Structure 1
Amino acid sequence: MTLQLIEMPLSLSALHSWAGQRNVGYGLFDEGAVLHHILGEVFGPAVLQPFRLLVAPRARTGTLYAYSTVAAEDLRAEAAPVLGPSEAGVLSLDALRSIARPETTWREGMRLGFDLKCRPVVRIASPLKGKDIRFAKGAELDAFLAESMRNDHARSREDVYFDWLAARLAPVADLEREASRLHQFRRVRSLRRGRQVEGPDVVIHGSLTVCDPQGFARLLARGVGRHRSYGYGMLLLRPPQRKA
């Protein structure tokens, strides 16, 4: 089915109220987890995934973007019978829009810019021990932390994250490192399956070159990395960045 880029306004105050009413997060407001729950209740599990909420500074509303195989008209028709008053206060179904992104949109060698919010984590294959901390085999770690604990002379955070991203774009697209930058890094506490976890919250602005148009279409639909159902991994496409 044809991939659709979805756009929908969202009330931030109503989203916070909805989370409080449902006790989502048990006192921790995890924006990704709250959106995961409300989008699943209104549209069905993973119908709008991956997704990204963009909010301007000091704004009271945000704009939700997502990829889906369902167009706006059908999304509204399917959500209308189950939408409750509280959900209607959060999501503006009347203003929901979509635009098709068929596979024929992409060409081999096409350069594209992107804005990506991601969670660059890895599962470690063997235990890791630092000065004051130890991680068991299979633990999920910040990719930069994992490399730093293995090597005395660790590379920069940006270099490690670019390696992580390049591996997940390959072989359908090549990351253009000279036209990419680490725009934001912070550590956040999140709620996953009833427990709190901590990890990196990263935004990368960059450019890529499409190598496999059909594979690239599947990558957009799937998203990049882990935690894709919680607001990470959506490639928002832009004009390509200038190379440094």
Structure 2
Amino acid sequence: MTENATAEPLFMIQLQPDPVRAGLWIAGEGLSKRGADDGYGWHALLKAAFGELAPQPFRIIDHPRKPPQLLGYTRANLSTLRDHAETFAEPAVAAALGLDSLAAKRMPDCFATDQRLGFEVRVRPTIRQHLADDRTRNRERDVFLAAAEKAGPRATRTGLDRATVYAEWLGGRLGAYGARLIEARPLALRRTRVSRRNGKRELVGDIEGPDAVFEGILKVTCPDAFRRLLGRGVGRHRAFGFGMLLLRPAPSE
């Protein structure tokens, strides 16, 4: 593996936020809706701390026996992030995110063609569909529900499987950005509601949809595209806690 000297650096950050203080800040900003995922609130907290340098995608990792952690990818290095937060973040934001715990590492500048990597990712497997054949209007659909609708009565007979449909969707997203999916195993399959702000900056809508966590193995087919994928994230809602590819060693073949 050789270093790509022209590649824009990509960094992974780690924080140990205070969930109670974070929840109070999110609620105080009017960004909390009962029963909805807090991804928008965490997005707003990161923006309040780091502005345009805020990590995206990011992921909140909950642990049963220790405090949660926040991981994310950003183009800014540790010094730049600290300088921005020290200058502009309000004390309540700093306390909620645990900015004293901020750590970062530089990701590889180059991956090797055919390199096998283990991964874990939280995704929202959806597609955009036009409404009533009107191409000016569309909606977000669960890819499994869309597949079941397309299959019609055959869906039951053919044993259409939610995890399989989601894994196929994931393979397509990885394939478009320089990686081939070798295997994917679901760690969690559920449906969650998310809230978003409208053009008037009002928090509206409880958009229910799929929320899946997969682990598996991929193979890098185009190193430059794959590296862009890390910084971009997988699927939709990447700014709100979905789509961050966490890498790990792949088991030997």
**Do both share a fold (TM > 0.5)?**
yes
Over 3 Å counting, the alpha-carbon distance change for 1:20 and 1:137 in structure 2 is: closer
Report the identity percentage: 36
1:200 aligns with 2:207: no
Secondary structure class of the residue paired with 1:36: helix
- Which residue of structure 1 lines up, in the alignment, with residue 88 of structure 2? 82
Partner Cα distance (2:36, 2:20) in 1: 12
Structure 2: gaps spanning 5 or more residues = 1-7, 198-203
Aligned residues of 1:168 and 1:225 also touching (Cα < 8 A)? yes
Secondary structure class of the residue paired with 1:10: coil
Partner Cα distance (2:137, 2:97) in 1: 41
Secondary structure class of the residue paired with 1:203: strand
- Which residue of structure 1 lines up, in the alignment, with residue 18 of structure 2? 11
Over 3 Å counting, the alpha-carbon distance change for 1:153 and 1:223 in structure 2 is: same
Deviation for aligned residue 1:28:
4.9
- Which residue of structure 2 lines up, in the alignment, with residue 132 of structure 1? none
The CA deviation string for residues 7-65 of structure 1, in whole angstroms up to 9 with x for no partner, is: 11111111111112222134455321110111111111463100001010154x31110
Q: 1:185 aligns with which of 161, 166, 189?
A: 189
Secondary structure class of the residue paired with 1:140: strand
Q: Which moved more, 1:9-18 or 1:226-235?
A: 9-18
Partner Cα distance (1:13, 1:117) in 2: 23
Deviation for aligned residue 1:127:
4.4
The CA deviation string for residues 152-202 of structure 1, in whole angstroms up to 9 with x for no partner, is: 33321121111111111114000012xx21110111111022222101110
Q: 2:250 aligns with which of 234, 240, 243?
A: 240
What is the identity, as a one-letter code, of the residue corresponding to 2:14?
Answer: E
Over 3 Å counting, the alpha-carbon distance change for 1:242 and 1:182 in structure 2 is: farther
- Which residue of structure 1 lines up, in the alignment, with residue 200 of structure 2? none
1:41 aligns with 2:48: yes
The CA deviation string for residues 63-88 of structure 1, in whole angstroms up to 9 with x for no partner, is: 11000110112101111111212112
The CA RMSD measured in Å over matched residues stands at 2.0
- Which residue of structure 2 lines up, in the alignment, with residue 229 of structure 1? 239
1:30 aligns with 2:31: no
Aligned residues of 2:174 and 2:181 also touching (Cα < 8 A)? yes
Q: 1:92 aligns with which of 87, 95, 98?
A: 98
Q: 1:123 aligns with which of 125, 128, 134?
A: 128
What is the identity, as a one-letter code, of the residue corresponding to 1:167?
Answer: G
The CA deviation string for residues 84-128 of structure 1, in whole angstroms up to 9 with x for no partner, is: 121122112222111111322x10011001110000001124649
Partner Cα distance (1:19, 1:126) in 2: 33
Partner Cα distance (1:38, 1:231) in 2: 12
Secondary structure class of the residue paired with 1:44: helix
1:176 aligns with 2:186: no
Over 3 Å counting, the alpha-carbon distance change for 1:26 and 1:187 in structure 2 is: closer
TM-score, length of structure 2 as denominator length = 0.86
Aligned residues of 1:39 and 1:45 also touching (Cα < 8 A)? no
Partner Cα distance (1:24, 1:241) in 2: 41
Secondary structure class of the residue paired with 1:169: helix
Partner Cα distance (2:53, 2:84) in 1: 14
Residue-pair matches, total: 232
Partner Cα distance (2:207, 2:108) in 1: 37
Structure 1: gaps spanning 5 or more residues = 129-135
Partner Cα distance (1:232, 1:21) in 2: 24
1:163 aligns with 2:168: yes
Deviation for aligned residue 1:230:
0.4
1:150 aligns with 2:150: yes
